[in-house]
Amino acid sequence: AQQRYAGLRDKPAVSRDGRRICLQMNAGLMADLPSLEGSGAEGVGLFRTELQFLIRNKMPKRDELAKLYAHVMDAAQDRYVSFRTLDIGSDKVLPYMKPQDEPNPAMGWRAIRVGLDKPGVLRMQAQALIRAANGRPLSIMFPFIAEHAEFVSARAHVLAQIEREAALGRPTPKSIEIGAMLETPSLAFAPQAFFEMADFISIGGNDLKQFFFAADRENERVRRRYDTLNASFLGFIGQIVARCAATSTRLSFCGEDAGRPVEAICLAAMGLDILSMRPASIGPVKSLILRTDLAALRDVIDAECAKGAESVRPAVMDFLAKQPS
């Protein structure tokens, strides 16, 4: 399949009606990096830093991490990379951390909640990233931000580390952008000040969908119960797009749905301009974008929503089947 899409590798993803969609890849291990070249990804929209913590049997040291992060930035050359700070808890348990006995780990002490309550690791990671950037631009995002105040605190930790490095006479990043993952519905309703403060927002659709429908993403009995192309969910995505547009906040989507062509094309139709996905999905998603009139698809989605359809999928599939190839 990779072969089939090889010819598209260097072609920009421009829809039939002229919308340019930026396709990035998700990564987390050093083994993922060669895919940057092969897939034609325009950068790494989500670097899951916890994978480096999960493959070890003890807490990695700052300098070791700085080397790894520098290696990632070297491999990306001048392409964009956004590093997500440690997202542990819930389904990701570190073997060297005391296990938490929580009745609902997905809604428990996880991700930025751990980072803010025990900021030692967050600070250490920030230092490692700042040192790795060493005069290059740096992009950091925090997982599972549920309210504005959490973003303010997490951001302050990173900015304090930059000041500290500068005070020590060490090089600081050429530029820094700090973003939040939108993975809980609450953040979509945050005050305007949040959208103004965030340099960018990335929708973590896996978690966002889990919490939107209250359906455990790990539970086989319910995880496929609700369609991503459910009219209410797409409408909610549309509201997030509108809030970000009002403050000119860059918005991307990095959950698994960004890598499923039909879901991805609907996200683009809802106004997403940046999609980050597993590298193998870039070819198939790009191929569909090239063939699709996104404005016409949006009309189909809006008409279905207006009719009160539960899922827009049947109408979307019908529309896509009738597209000229």
Q: How many CA atoms lie within 13 A of 182 on its CB side?
A: 27
Considering the complex, what minimum distance in angstroms separates the CB of residue 152 from ligand PEP? 22
| Strand pairing category for 20-27 and 13-14 | antiparallel
How far is Cα 6 from Cα 3, in angstroms, rounded to an integer? 5
Considering the complex, what minimum distance in angstroms separates the CB of residue 301 from ligand PEP? 21
Answer whether 71's CB lies under 8 Å from 63's CB.
Answer: no
Task: Give the one residue of 89, 205, 261, 279 binding ligand PEP; rule: CB under 6 A.
Answer: 205
Considering the complex, what minimum distance in angstroms separates the CB of residue 194 from ligand PEP? 19
Runs of H (alpha helix) within 118-230: 119-133, 148-167, 185-188, 192-197, 205-213
Residues 72-111 that bind ligand PEP (CB under 6 A): 87
How far is Cα 318 from Cα 321, in angstroms, rounded to an integer? 5
Question: Both tokens of residue 144?
Answer: 């599972």
Pick the closer one to ligand PEP by CB: 184 or 292.
184
Residue type for position 149: A
Task: Give the one residue of 150, 183, 263, 304 binding ligand PEP; rule: CB under 6 A.
Answer: 183
How far is Cα 306 from Cα 317, in angstroms, rounded to an integer? 18
Task: Give the one residue of 42, 165, 207, 263 binding Mg ion; rule: CB under 5 A.
Answer: 207
- For residue 312, CA distances in Å to 3, 234, 239 come to 32, 9, 17
Considering the complex, what minimum distance in angstroms separates the CB of residue 317 from ligand PEP? 24
263 interacts with, out of Mg ion, ligand PEP, none, CB within 5 to 8 A per kind: none
The answer to whether 255 contacts ligand PEP (rule: CB under 6 A) is yes
Pick the closer one to Mg ion by CB: 150 or 207.
207
Pick the closer one to ligand PEP by CB: 42 or 165.
42
254 interacts with, out of ligand PEP, Mg ion, none, CB within 5 to 8 A per kind: ligand PEP
Residue type for position 257: D
Pick the closer one to ligand PEP by CB: 15 or 35.
35
Residues 181-200 that bind Mg ion (CB under 5 A): 183
Q: Specify burial of residue 58 (Cβ count, 10 A radius: 0-12, 13-18, 19+).
A: exposed
The separation between CA 108 and the C-alpha centre of its own chain, rounded to angstroms, equals 21
311 interacts with, out of Mg ion, ligand PEP, none, CB within 5 to 8 A per kind: none
The residue range among 88-96, 175-183, 231-239, 279-287 that interacts with Mg ion, by the rule CB under 5 A, is: 175-183
Residues 6 or more apart whose Cβ sits within 8 Å of residue 170: 130, 131
Binding site for ligand PEP (CB under 6 A): 46, 48, 87, 183, 204-207, 254-255
